[in-house]
Structure 1
């Protein structure tokens, strides 16, 4: 749990495959060792609502790489690593949908969600947004909705939670939270999920 890659995407519109920016933060043994940020040409229309959130406009991405070109530059760096997003149901499927859109096979990665983890270990809170948790844990997040800044905040939140609740492996994660990691490989995708533990109790059959 101390070595993983946190990632975040921004989109041009409401479609998950309209990625216009990507941020990846590489963590080794609890230390951020590398970062990758890129604008991406989504080949999609930009909605004003999305622009108001992240500030990226069509002119900003007109010379940016398409998603397959960007993925080619990072796939060797992320292969075999655990990918962590804050709200995996969005960012994970954005990754899956873009790979599917362009027919690009994924490298193999396990997948986890820092938002899902926060909800399990801090069940009494009313909000679990990236900015809320960053303030709560004194994590600097000056540029919320910038893909790299959000990925870095995600990485630090995940590190804080796994350290605070002494979660050091997938096995401990499952035992303490019932969270089962997701996975992406080739064209297969499964998001992380809360998976009830199997009961060891045997059902007693009443004799007639």
Structure 2
């Protein structure tokens, strides 16, 4: 299998540019070769989703912005054939909005959506991440970006082995 990167964003508010956490898992030759999690200071102090992911403005105020984190994130994406996310339209939207906000080029890779792949591969009707993980026996700390990204990578690998 080719190299890919699974990613997951958590956001602070309804704006796609409000990422406050990102998990990235790089897979090469069916092996996880790099795991990284970054906290990111969003462009606004309005946190609407703390009840989902537990992240508060107080936790973020001193963290680097997405623009400052990009120098560490971008090299992980280099050479990847595709990016993968669970409900990829959301994570793609967040990634693109953050790149646009900081006037950085968007990654060129296409996105694979593990929601769609789970439906197609195993005919699952409840394709929420916890349900797909339970079906495949994947451990998950839902809404923790690194755990969600790792689960997504494991789903891609399971699809590849099917």
* Fold shared, TM-score > 0.5 on shorter chain: yes
Q: Which digits, 9 at most, give the CA deviation of each residue in 1:117-156, with x for residues without a partner?
A: 1122233x33001110111111111x21000000000000
Distance 1:29 1:72 in 2: 25
Secondary structure of the residue that 1:90 maps to in structure 2? helix
Q: Which residue of 2 aligns with 1:55?
A: 54
Q: How many residues align?
A: 160
Q: Indicate if the aligned counterparts of 2:10 and 2:145 stay in contact, CA closer than 8 A.
A: yes
Q: Indicate if the aligned counterparts of 1:2 and 1:159 stay in contact, CA closer than 8 A.
A: no
**Do residues 83 (structure 1) and 79 (structure 2) align?**
no
Q: Which residue of 2 aligns with 1:150?
A: 148
Q: Which residue of 2 aligns with 1:100?
A: 100
TM-score by length of 1: 0.73
Q: Indicate if the aligned counterparts of 1:79 and 1:109 stay in contact, CA closer than 8 A.
A: no
Q: Which runs of 5+ in 1 are unaligned?
A: 165-208
Structural mapping, 1:185-196, within 5 Å? none
Q: Which residue of 2 aligns with 1:72?
A: 71
Query: Whose RCO is larger (CA < 8 A, sep 6+)?
Result: 2
Distance 1:159 1:131 in 2: 17
Distance 1:126 1:105 in 2: 36
Distance 1:34 1:70 in 2: 16
Q: Indicate if the aligned counterparts of 2:114 and 2:155 stay in contact, CA closer than 8 A.
A: yes
Q: Which residue of 2 aligns with 1:197?
A: none
Distance 1:145 1:31 in 2: 23
Q: Which residue of 2 aligns with 1:193?
A: none
**What is the CA-CA distance between 1:28 and the residue it aligns to?**
1.0
Q: Indicate if the aligned counterparts of 1:80 and 1:107 stay in contact, CA closer than 8 A.
A: no
**Do residues 32 (structure 1) and 35 (structure 2) align?**
no
Q: Which moved more, 1:146-155 or 1:94-103?
A: 94-103
Q: Indicate if the aligned counterparts of 2:5 and 2:24 stay in contact, CA closer than 8 A.
A: yes
Runs of 4+ in 1 over 4 A off after TM superposition: none
**What is the CA-CA distance between 1:2 and the residue it aligns to?**
4.7
**Do residues 118 (structure 1) and 122 (structure 2) align?**
no
